[in-house]
Amino acid sequence: MSIDQAVFRFAGIMVLLSVALTYYVSQYFLLFTAFIGLNLLQSSFTGFCPAAMFFRLLGVKAGCAFK
């Protein structure tokens, strides 16, 4: 698995988690969903992704998108 795949999987899990938390706990978890979306948007423009840095520290091999 590459960093790209790990980041995409992590983002997908976080979005699904935030949707579930919004449904079962509080509508304020929509702010968490918005934060995830904004982070994905800024990383598409800048190439800077905190999750990619974390996975790199864990030793996940580099992919094409996040170097």
- 57 exposed, middle or buried (CB, 10 Å; 0-12, 13-18, 19+)? exposed
Domain around 7: 3-57
Residue 64 lies in a domain: no
When pLDDT is cut at 50, 70 and 90, the band that residue 66 belongs to is: low
47: helix, strand or coil:
coil
Number of domains in the chain: 1
- Whole-angstrom Cα distance, residue 49 to residue 64? 13
Residue 67 lies in a domain: no
User: Whole-model pTM?
Assistant: 0.82
- Mean pLDDT of the 23-45 span: 95
The number of beta carbons lying within 10 Å of the beta carbon of residue 64 is: 8
Residue 51 lies in a domain: yes
- Please write the tens of the pLDDT for every residue from 12-22: 999 999 999 99
Residue 65 lies in a domain: no
Q: Are 62 and 56 in contact (CB under 8 A)?
A: yes
